[in-house]
Structure formats: C-alpha cells, structure tokens
Amino acid sequence: MKTIRQLTALSLMAGSMLFIAQTTASTPVQKDSPVINSLFAQTKPQCIGRYVIDVPESFNNQLHDMIFIDDFKIESKPLYPPAFKQRVQLREQALRDAINKPGNKPENAPFLKEVIQLPDGKGTIFDRNESGTPDIYRKLEAHVYSGMTAFVITTDIRDFSDKKHSEKKSKYLARGFTEADANTKPVKLAALQSLISRLSGRKDEDVPSVKGVCIPNGFIRDDGNHHVEKITFHYENDDFILGVYTNNKYPGSEDTLFNRSAQINEALKTSNQYTIKKVALSPNGIPAESWLFGGTQTMRDTVTGKDEKNTFYDFDFKANERDATADKPKFSIGLTSEYKKTRYSEAQMIEIWDRLVNSLRYK
C-alpha cells in the first residue's frame, strides 16, 4: 500500500492526510440510500491555493501548519484579539527566559536578539536563537494578527555579524561565500515584512476576488513576483480522510499519474490493493487524471475485540501535472478510508469522490 501511495504521490500529503486514525465502527449505509444526497445537501466553497472546491457544509479543514511560501513556514489559528495579545506576551517572556534552559550556552546570550513591532499593532517579529545551536544560526518568528486570525511565520537566518564570530566568518568567506551569505537577516527580514503586508485573515469559505493564494484561514495577495507555494488542507470524519495539496514549485512535465502506470501496476501485484477505475477528466476545463483503488484490511472491532477484514478505498486525483504553471499549479486530491470502517459502499464512495473532484475550478 505504501509503495502505491508513493507512486501516486499521495505521500506528499502523508503528514496531513494519511495517518493511522482510531478505528470506529459505523452504521452501514444501504445502497441507494439518500445519505449521499443528505451529505451534500448543503455545500460550501473552499479556497485552496489558487483553486476552489465545494465540500459538504459539515467539513472543516483541520490542518493549519502545512503552509510554505518560499522559505517561510506559516501556521494559522482563529483567535480573539485579547488571546493573541496574551500569546505574544507569553512567547516573548519564554524566549527571554530560554537562555537559562539546559543546552543553551551563556556565550550565545541573549537568546532573544531583537523584538520588532509591526505597524498598527499588527504583531511582532522576534529574532531568536534556536535551542542548543550557536547563535550564528537563528530564526525570525513573526506573530501577526489579521481578520480574527493569528499567524505564526518562521524562517531560518544565518548571521556572522557579531564580533565574537569574526574568526568563523573569515573561514566562511574563505570558502567562497559572500557577505550577503554571511548575514541573511536583512534580505529575509525584508521578504518577511513584504509577506506580512500582503497577508490577511479570512474564513476558508471566503473566496477573494483579487489575485493571490489562499491558505488555511488566510489569503496572500500577489505582488507580481513568483513565489513558491506549497499548501495542504485536511478534512476527516468517521468514514474517510480527504486531503488536498497544491504545489507550484515545479512546472508541468510528462511525469503524470498515468505515465507512472507501469510502476503502479507492478506494485499492485504485491499489495492487497486493486484498481477500481482510472479516468482522464477535465472539471471546469482543468486537465486531470484520476485513479481509484480498493483494498482489504484487517481491523480490530472496538466492540467485540476481534479482528475482521473489510474493504477500504484509496482515490487519487492529479490536476495540471502536465500543464502546470505558476498561476495554474499542480493540484492533488486524495480520499482514503484506510484504517477506518466506512459506512459507505464502493458505489457511494465513488459518488462522493465524483462530486468533490467535479466541483474543482480556478479561483
């Protein structure tokens, strides 16, 4: 199973989508029941990267820390202003006290090198050490508040500018590195401040009309430059996990889902999975390929305590793999019921899948 996921690139979402969940028994859904119609009776848009899909009203993204823009990692969390203010105050105090913790040497003091207040009370940037690491290698850590959402943005910096590092700096430069390489803080700080100026909070169902990229609970307005964007959303209920991932780092190529068929089919021979169907499709004009797998798993019934076999489903969808550009990046959707005892039949899982992927459109 793992091999097939790697070949279909579902492993890209492993941290958010395909982890082992506590198995729970569900009441089986009867064939031709109205449950699917009920599930989709009310839907809401989800702006994800530069795309939009429609999900059932009950679905809410549960992943808020798999957001990467260039060299910056972003975490988001809805928060009220007083809680944000307290969070920043507590964080600053913790950073000031960190030098006294085991592993942090006095020669690297202070642990918190600089505190930069953002204009209009929007937040704070900390220039801080990393625990157990020489203070040449540090982090910028920004706490930003916008639209009832708190963001934490981090990036690594290198800084030999302190006189105590002059000998190390000389050796570093002698290896062919530049002054800019020896102190990346100014460039990284400017890029961070630019990112913050373009960042705003939002609800995931709000679809901004201006050009930019949607992240969990946030939006980053375009500035006319190219930025690497890697974003994951994750939805889960008792029956399945839905993962959505977009990455504009690489242009389109012939390394597509279907062009990996030989390797996938070979892996199927030694797995407990099989192909249900594979199909090329074009929801709202977006070129895509979809491959649906089924399989058998052994799970322990939480009521009886006995092991039993059941069917699970692993569906994979890749859009714009061949034609990807910065504005129309690669986009993946994965749906799995592995490690779950789903109520849904194969036909019903396919219907859920079809409704999700066919709602895909550009922002």
pLDDT band at 301 (very low <50, low <70, confident <90, very high): confident
Q: From CA 276, how far away is CA 354, in angstroms rounded? A: 14
With beta carbons less than 8 A apart as the criterion, state whether 274 and 293 touch: yes
pLDDT in tens, 204-226: 999 999 999 999 999 999 999 99
Query: Do residues 88 and 96 touch, judged by C-beta distance below 8 A?
Result: no
Q: What is the mean pLDDT of residues 168-195?
A: 98
pTM for this predicted structure: 0.91
Over residues 43-57, the mean pLDDT reads 99
Per-residue pLDDT at 244 exceeds 90: yes
Provide the pLDDT for residue 5.
Answer: 59
- Residue 303: pLDDT band by 50, 70, 90 thresholds? confident
In one-letter notation, the amino acid at residue 196 is I
> Stretch 14-43: mean pLDDT, rounded?
59
Give the model's confidence band at 132: pLDDT under 50 very low, under 70 low, under 90 confident, else very high: very high
Buried b (16+ CB within 10 A) or exposed e, 248-280: beeebeeebbeebeeebeebbeeeebeebeeee
Identify the pLDDT of residue 12.
36
Residue 11 has pLDDT above 80, yes or no: no
Residue 21 or 107, more confident? 107
* Pair 338, 314: CB distance under 8 Å: yes
pLDDT tens digits for range 111-126 = 999 999 999 999 999 9
**Confidence at residue 34, expressed as pLDDT on a 0 to 100 scale:** 86
- Name the band, by pLDDT with cuts 50, 70 and 90, for residue 4: low
Confidence class for position 163, pLDDT limits 50, 70, 90: very high
The residue among 229, 230, 244 whose CA lies nearest residue 334 is 244
Strand order in the sheet with 229-236: 112-117, 123-129, 137-146, 149-158, 72-78, 67-69, 229-236, 241-247, 330-336, 307-319, 288-300, 273-281
Cα-to-chain-centroid distance, residue 139: 21
Domains in the chain, ordered, with CATH?
2-62+232-362 (3.40.1000), 72-200 (no CATH)
Max CA-CA distance within the chain? Answer: 75
| Phi, psi angles (nearest 5°) of residue 9 | 70, 15
pLDDT digits (tens, 9 = 90+) for 29-38: 454 568 999 9
DSSP β-bridge partners for residue 158: 137
Closest CA to 185 of 122, 120, 133, 116: 116
CB-CB contact of 20 with 339 (8 Å): yes
Among 228-237, 268-277, 300-309, name the one with the lowest average pLDDT.
300-309
pLDDT digits (tens, 9 = 90+) for 55-69: 999 999 999 999 999
User: Is the separation of the CB atoms in 111 and 99 below 8 Å?
Assistant: yes
Question: What pLDDT shows up at residue 272?
Answer: 84
pLDDT of residue 25: 41
Give the percent of the chain with pLDDT over 90.
Answer: 87
